[in-house]
Amino acid sequence: MNETSSSPAEEQTRFSRRSFLRKSSLVAGAAIGSSALLSACTGGDGSGAAPAAAAGSGGGPGTVGDDAYVKAVTEKVKGRTIKVGFTPIFLSEFFTQMEGGAFQRMYELEQAYGVKWQWQRSSPAANSFNATQAQIQIVQNFASRKFDAVAIGSGGDFATMQNAYTQATKNGTKIFQFNMVPEAHFDSMDRFEFTSSVGYDNRFQAGFVAGDFIGKTLKGKGTIMQIWGPPGSEFAAIRQEGFDAALAQYPGLKVIAKGNGQYQRNTGFTVSQALLTRFPDVNAIYGENEDMALGAAQAVDARGLKHWDGTKGVVIIGADGLVSGMEAIRAGKMTASIDVGSVDMGREFVDMIFQSIALENAVPKIRWVPTRLVTKENVDTAEAYLKWSLKPAKKY
């Protein structure tokens, strides 16, 4: 796991963090020319409210530009209603936060430019890592009903989803992905039928961040347990690459156990409890998503082990950025979380839909959002932003 040497051929083909960041900055930057003109930031007073329109502006919250610009955009929109189908992998706290972020942005654009929204949420009854066909049927249903856009985060791999995407596009329904792993498919991206994919780089905005945090916290020495997604998951594979890249910097760290937590809190608890029976002296646990990390935290308690207190105990880091995760950090039950931008993803894919459908602009194929390492030092700010999303000005 921590081996750093490789052959010349491997060095030539190995994914380079520096080259990737150069590439991703160009991909993400493509959005600035269109999205930034309409984007709204949270208020400078920390309230989370959208800023007031600029002096002389004719619009409401979220408006940028003078009266002439607002009038031009409003006339272009013509009060149209955009029909959006929202289909996450499964219903969860993470996607509720994302939907709240989407509602906030939809309201801002409605107030600013007169666009109206019709929104429908539909998700497989089971975790769609095991129900891909059910989610394909959801996409087909939205397309048959002439929805303008489908916003989808799928458990099916890219190739599996292409027939559904292609047929939907032929029917006039545009596909907007969120929280997916397009970075695993850069070489063939032109063959994929989605209009835009909003998310983050799972390698170096998540996996690498977690490994680097553990290395710094443990001062480069210790043992690690991984509570991971199911075999075959593209998410798990790509985050593992970033995690391994971080661990290569800390040869004194060793992964001693890895279990399949199925991205579920209960399973994360069960798997962690079994592994802690075998490895009670582990120094750190990385839950690939936050529910698994929170399950691991419960297992630490159940085993009577100590959580990290700044000098000793078990370091636990998750990745999602959930309100429940923020509460666990504050309570000392989780050391850190990587907030991967659930709220920002919701806001951004709404912007991509508005730009592409209402304004007929070209939108970037890939749109990254920031991720944030959250600890006790900054948990209040992170939690306030997440809670703001759960109280949207209007629900759709």
The yes-or-no verdict on residue 59 having pLDDT over 60 is no
Q: Of 6-20, 48-62, 358-372, where does mean pLDDT reach its minimum?
A: 6-20
CA gap 84, 366 in Å, rounded: 19
Fold classified for 31-200+342-369:
Rossmann fold (3.40.50)
Q: Are 253 and 285 in contact (CB under 8 A)?
A: no
Grade residue 185 by pLDDT with cuts at 50, 70 and 90: confident
What interhelical angle do 323-330 and 379-389 show, nearest 10? 150
pTM, two decimal places = 0.85
Which tens digit of pLDDT belongs to each residue from 227-264?
Answer: 999 988 889 999 999 999 999 999 999 999 999 999 99
Across 18-25, average pLDDT: 38
Q: State the amino acid at position 123 in one-letter form.
A: S
CA gap 169, 164 in Å, rounded: 9
Grade residue 126 by pLDDT with cuts at 50, 70 and 90: low
Those residues whose C-beta lies under 8 Å from the C-beta of residue 226, and which sit 6 or more positions away, are: 243, 255, 257, 258, 259, 285, 286, 288
Residue spans in the chain of domains classed CATH 3.40.50.2300 = 31-200+342-369, 203-339
Give pLDDT, residue 377.
97
> How high does pLDDT run on average in the chain?
85
CA gap 210, 201 in Å, rounded: 13
Q: How is residue 191 annotated by DSSP?
A: G
The yes-or-no verdict on residue 138 having pLDDT over 70 is yes
Which residue spans within the chain are E strands per DSSP?
81-87, 116-121, 149-152, 174-178, 196-199, 222-228, 253-260, 284-287, 315-320, 336-339, 366-368, 372-374
Q: Of 38-42, 103-107, 276-280, 385-389, where does mean pLDDT reach its minimum?
A: 38-42
The CATH number given to 203-339 is 3.40.50.2300
Q: Of 18-32, 146-160, 237-251, 364-378, where does mean pLDDT reach its minimum?
A: 18-32
Which tens digit of pLDDT belongs to each residue from 198-217?
Answer: 999 999 999 999 999 999 99
The yes-or-no verdict on residue 43 having pLDDT over 90 is no
Cα-based angle 168, 172, 178 (whole degrees, multiple of 5)? 55
Q: Which is more confident, 80 or 163?
A: 80
List alpha helices for 114-171, DSSP H. 132-144, 158-170
Across 115-136, average pLDDT: 84
Which tens digit of pLDDT belongs to each residue from 319-330?
Answer: 999 999 999 999
Pairing of strands 372-374, 336-339: antiparallel
Q: Which is more confident, 19 or 144?
A: 144
Grade residue 54 by pLDDT with cuts at 50, 70 and 90: very low
Residue 50: helix, strand or coil by DSSP?
coil
